Copies of this chain bind each other. A is one copy, B any other.
Amino acid sequence: MVTSQFATQLPQDNQDLSGLLGQHLIYTYSNGWRYELYIKNSNHVEYRVHASVKDVNPLAGRWVKDQKAVIARLGNGMYSIAWNEPTGTCVNLVMDTEQRWVHFTGFLAKWVSDHPELTVVFQNEHLAEIQALRDAGPIAPQVQADLFGTISFAEYSGTDNEQVIASPPGDVPDGFLDRTN
C-alpha cells in the first residue's frame, strides 16, 4: 500500500471520539432555541431544553438523561450524533467543535409536534407514559426540522458524570447559560 503524509484520510478510518466524549456544550439555534448537551460517553447523551432567547420553543423545560445515541467522527472536530427518542422522534446533529457550530436535522413524531407540552418533563421519570403516548401516535408523517446553531460554551466535564445534567432546566443558576469561552 502506498502511504503518504499528505494522503487524505477518510473519516471511517479514524473514529477517535476523544475530542467529543465528556464535553458539555451550550448552543443556540438561529431561531433562539437554546440547548445544553452533555456527551456522557460513546453511546449516551443527556440534554436540557432551555427557554428560547427569541421564538418560543414549545419543548422548553424538557430534560433527558441516558439517551442512547450513535456517535461518529466525520472529520477534525466534526461529529455526527444521532438518536431515536422514546417519543418516536429521531434526531441527527452534526457538530463542529472547532468552528463551534451545530446543524440539527430532526424528525418530530407528529403527536409530539401536535402536543409538545406532553413531553415537557424529566423524561426518565415518565418513560412508560411517554412510550404509551408514542404507541398511541401518530408518529407519521413526522415533522422535519432543519436548524443551524452556534456553540457558545464547551467544557470537558469527564465521562459518565451524573452531576452535569442533574436538575430541571429552569433551575440553573443566573448567568449559567450566558457563559462563553
Contact = CB atoms under 8 A, between A and B. Distances in A.
A150 B144 CA distance: 27
A63 to B, nearest CB: 21
Contacts of A134: 140
B94 A150 contact: no
Copies of the polypeptide in the assembly? 2
A152 interface: no
Interface string A44-86: 0000000000000000000000000010101100001011100
A19 interface: no
Q: In the complex, which of the residues A12, A101, A139, A140 has the most CB atoms of chain B within 10 Å of its own CB atom? A: A140
A141 interface: yes
B74 A90 contact: no
A132 B10 CA distance: 41
B92 A144 contact: no
Interface of A: 8, 10-12, 30, 70, 72, 74-75, 80, 82-84, 88, 90, 92, 94, 96, 99, 101, 103, 105, 107, 109, 134-135, 137-142, 144, 146, 148, 150
Given A11-B101, A74-B94, A109-B140, 16 more contacts: A12-B30, A74-B103, A80-B103, A80-B105, A82-B144, A82-B146, A84-B107, A84-B144, A88-B140, A90-B90, A90-B142, A92-B92, A94-B94, A107-B107, A137-B137, A139-B140
